[in-house]
Amino acid sequence: MMKIEAIIRPTKIHEVKDALEDAGYESITVTDVKGRGKQKGVMQQWRGRKYCVDLLPKIKIEIVAEDTDIDKIVEIIKKTSETGSIGDGKIFIYPVSKIIRIRTGETDGEAL
């Protein structure tokens, strides 16, 4: 099993969530986060003054899935969250050694 963490634009969360759900991947965790990448923030102007916003709002999506589903999930996230502009985000994939469902005690694949 693997864990996918995707950092995406907040404006893309509904498209990504709907596409994942349509493909049968309904179990996701979504968190509001702030961060920056190579763009190092953006310059904005408010009341005539310029200032740099270097921690931009993003959404983090977390999904744990079977190894065989990882490529399909990653492709769905890439396809639905891409704008072609800097700041589209990143996808990280980690191995998961154990899963336990608290309510039933089921483990690993049964707990998904």
**pLDDT exceeds 80 at position 104:** yes
* Residue ranges of domains in the chain: 2-111
Share of the chain above pLDDT 70, in %: 95
CATH number of 2-111: 3.30.70.120
CA–CA separation, 58 and 60 (whole Å): 7
pLDDT in tens, 51-83: 777 788 999 999 999 999 999 999 999 999 999
- Say whether pLDDT at 41 is over 70: no
Task: Report the alpha-carbon distance of residue 106 to residue 104 in Å, rounded.
Answer: 5
Tell me how far the alpha carbon of residue 5 is from its chain's centroid.
Answer: 5
